Amino acid sequence: MTESRVIIAGGGIGGLAVALTLHEIGVPFTVYEAVRELKPLGVGINLQPNAVRELFDMGLGPEALDGVGLKAREWALVGLNGRDIYAEPRGLEAGYNWPQYAVHRGAFHMLLYRTLLERAGPDAVKTGSRVTGYRKEADGTVTGFFEHADGAFEDHGALLISGEGIHSALRAQMHPEQPPIHWGGAIMWRGVTRAKPIRTGSSFVGLGTHRHRMVIYPISAPDENGEALVNWIAERTLDDSEEWRETGWFRPVSVDSFVHHFDGFRYDWLDVPALLHGAEVAYENPMIDRDPVPTWVDGPVALMGDAAHAMYPTGSNGASQAVIDARTLGVCLLKHGVSPDALAAFDARLCGPVSQLVLRNRGAGPFGLLKMVHDRCGGTFEDIDAVIPAEERAAFMADYKRAAGFAIDALNAAPRTIPEGARVKA
C-alpha cells in the first residue's frame, strides 16, 4: 500500500467513472463493491451531452455507447389531450458537439466495468466488500472499514471516495444528523417493452401532467420489424389523504396493479395501456432523494454520485452528474495532487450548484412546464401558444439546461475537463 492510493467505496456508475479517471491520470486505486457479482440491472437512463463528452474523452466513443443505447433526437412534452406542449431537438441534432444517449442502465454499467478491468486488470475491483465507516489519521490519510463474508477488514489510503449510492454509510458518518430519505409522494413504475418507437424513432416523450404522467423513450435501435426496446416510466403523485406502504427498491409488480391509473392515456399515435402490458415485468419504487448537505467532504473523505446528491429523475441527469463528478474530481487531483486539498476544491466547485439542482428537480425539473399548463388551463388546450407563449417555454427549458450544466453554447465552447495525456505528478 502507498499513501497515494485512493480507495473507492462502491462500484456503480459513479465509482467506476472515478476509477477510470484515476487510471487515466495515473493515480493508483482500489474499488470495493458490496455485491459479490456485478450484473446488468436496471432499465433506461439518459446521458446528457456534457457527460457524453467526458465519456468520449475517456475512450468510450460512439462505437461503445451505440452498443448499449441509442442517440436521442428529440425531447418533447405532450399534454393529456395528446397535443404538444414543447418539443426540441437534442444532442447532435440540436447543434451540440456530442450526442445525447438513451441507454440501458445495466448494459452501460457493465460497459464501464469491462472497460475498467481491461485497462486496470482483474484486481481493480474487489467485490463482496461493503464499506461501513472510516477513520481519519493524524497524517492526513484515511482508513476505511469494510465487511466481507470472511469477516471485517480495514484498508488504508490517501483518500476515500464514496460512490455507495443513496444509502451511503460514509455519508451517514459524515453527517450523522442528516434527515431521513425524502419522499415527495410520487410513485414510479418502470419497465421495458419491445414496440415500435414513436415520433422521430428516438424521442424522449413526457406525457400527461406534473402529478400523473408517462415518460417514454427507446433505448435500442429498431430491429428488422421496426421494433425497439422502449423504456417507460409511469408516475403518479398520491394525494395527502392516500396512504402508501413501505416497499423495497425496484420491487417487481404486476402491470395490472397500476395500469388502471393510465386507462385514459390512449391516442391515435400511442396506446399507453397496451405499451405497459407489453412488458415482461414492471418495477415499483418511490421517487426519492436526500436533502442537500453543506459539504461533501470530511478531510480525506469525499462523497460523489448519489451518495452526495441523490436527486429526482425528473431532469434525467443523475447518471450524467455522477460522470461529471468523477471528471471534476480528476481535474482537482491534477491541480492539487492526491490530497485533501483536491477534495476541498472538488467540494467548492460542485456541492453548492448541484445541491441547488437537487432542489430544482423536486419542483419537477423540466417537467415544470406541465405544471404551468395545468395551473393556467387545467391541462387541456387547443392552442398551447395561447396558454404559454413559445418564447416563455423556450426560456424555461434554457434556464434548466444552464442549471444542469448542458447549455449548448457554454458546453461547445468549453475546453476538455482533463487535458489529453495529463498525469498527476508524483
Distance CA 140, CA 395 (A): 47
pLDDT on residue 249 = 63
Distance CA 278, CA 282 (A): 10
Residue 128: name the closest of 112, 150, 145 by CA.
150
8 Å CB contact between 67 and 337: no
Q: Topology of domain 6-46+105-180+291-362, per CATH?
A: FAD/NAD(P)-binding domain (3.50.50)
pLDDT on residue 241 = 45
8 Å CB contact between 205 and 199: yes
Domain map (residue ranges) of the chain: 6-46+105-180+291-362
pLDDT on residue 357 = 87
Percent of the chain with pLDDT over 90: 80
Residues 6+ apart with CB under 8 A from 141: 3, 156, 157, 158, 300
8 Å CB contact between 404 and 357: yes
pLDDT (tens digit, 9 = 90+) per residue, 311-339? 888 777 889 999 999 999 999 999 999 99
pLDDT (tens digit, 9 = 90+) per residue, 52-63? 999 999 999 999
Find cell 495515473 and name the residue.
26
pLDDT (tens digit, 9 = 90+) per residue, 365-398? 788 888 899 999 988 899 999 999 999 999 988 8
pLDDT (tens digit, 9 = 90+) per residue, 232-269? 999 999 875 455 555 556 789 999 999 999 999 999 99
pLDDT on residue 2 = 52
97 to 94, 108, 217, 403, 407: CA distances (angstroms): 9, 21, 22, 19, 12
pLDDT (tens digit, 9 = 90+) per residue, 169-213? 999 999 999 999 998 888 999 999 999 999 999 999 999 998 899
pLDDT on residue 1 = 40
Q: What is the pTM of this model?
A: 0.94
8 Å CB contact between 71 and 138: no
Residue-averaged pLDDT of the chain:
93
Q: Which DSSP helix (H) or strand (E) runs through 89?
A: strand 84-89
Phi-psi region of 175 (alpha: psi -120 to 50; beta: other; left: phi over 0): beta
pLDDT higher than threshold 90 for residue 150: yes
